[in-house]
Amino acid sequence: MNELMPEHFMFLSAALFIIGMVGVLTRRNVLVIFMCVELMLTAVNISFIGFAWEFSQLTGQIFALFIIAIAAAEAVIGLGIIMALTRQRDTVDIDEVRELRQ
């Protein structure tokens, strides 16, 4: 176990991803959910870069770069929505937001 094996980063990525998913599933605070989503995205980035490292190709890294850019955009919009939501509804409890149900 003295060499840095691909399994390492894969398990790290999987673990973080699962934690993020569980967070999203269980937490009721919108912002925490939002953070969990960011965590899941980072987990994905880890696996991308891990594979780029393993197969010494840069596509993984390029992809991770794009993911980060898009994640940033997503965060901005997400937070904007949350801001609007809290302004209008004054709560961040996701369960109270039930308009989608007719």
Partner 1 sequence: MAAEVLVFNLLSGIAIVSAAAMIMMRNPVHSAIALVITFVNVAAVFIMLRAEFLAVVQIIVYTGAILVLILFVLMLVNPDELPDFHGARPMQQIFGFGLGIILLAEIAVAILTRTVVAEPGPWTEDGMAAVGGNVQAIGQVLYSGYVLPIQATALVLLAATIGALFLGRPDEDEEPTPSRRTVATISLAHTRGSDQDEIPALSSANIKHEAGDRDLIMARDADEFTSTPEDDQKGQQE
Partner 2 sequence: MSSWLFLIPLLPLAAAVINFLFGRWFLQHASQWIATLAVAASFVLSIPVFLQIASDEQSISQHLYTWIPAGDFNIPVTLFVDQLTATMLLVVSGVGLLVHIYSIGYMHGDPGIYRFFSYLPLFVFSMLMLVLADNFLVLFVFWEAVGLCSFLLIGFWYRRRSAASAAKKAFIVNRVGDFGFGIGILLIFVTYGTIEYAGVFGQVGDATQTTITVIALLLFTGAIGKSAQLPLFVWLPDAMEGPTPVSALIHAATMVTAGIFVIARAYPIVSQSADAMLVIAIIGAATAFIAATIAVTQYDIKKVVAYSTVSQLGFMAFALGSGAWIAAIFHLVTHAFFKGLLFLGAGSVIHGMHEEQDMRKMGGLKKYMPLTYWTFLIGAAANAGIIPLAGFWSKDEIILGTWLGDQPIIMVVAFITAFFTSLYMFRAVFMTFHGEERFDAEQVHPHESPRVMTIPLVVLAFFAVTVGFIGFPPEDGWFHHFLDPVFPGMPHPDVAWSTIVLFAAISTVIALSGLYIQYMAYVKRSISPRGISELLGPLYKLAANRWYLDEIYDVLIVRPLVAFSMFLWRFVDAQVIDGTVNGVGSLVTYTSNQWRRAQTGLIANYVFAIALGAVIIIGAFMIFGSNLFE
Site residues (CB under 8 A) for partner 1, limited to 52-71: 52-53, 55-59, 61-62, 64-66, 68-71
Q: Contact between 89 and partner 2 (CB under 8 A)?
A: no
Q: What gap in Å lies between CA 28 and CA 34, rounded to an integer?
A: 11
> Which partner, partner 2, partner 1, none, binds residue 44 by CB below 5 to 8 Å per kind?
none
Q: How far is the CB of 102 from partner 1 (least distance, A)?
A: 19
Q: Contact between 39 and partner 2 (CB under 8 A)?
A: no
Is 61 within 8 Å of 48 (Cβ atoms)?
yes
Phi, psi of 56 (to 5 degrees): 40, 50
Radius of gyration of the chain (CA): 17
Q: Contact between 37 and partner 1 (CB under 8 A)?
A: no
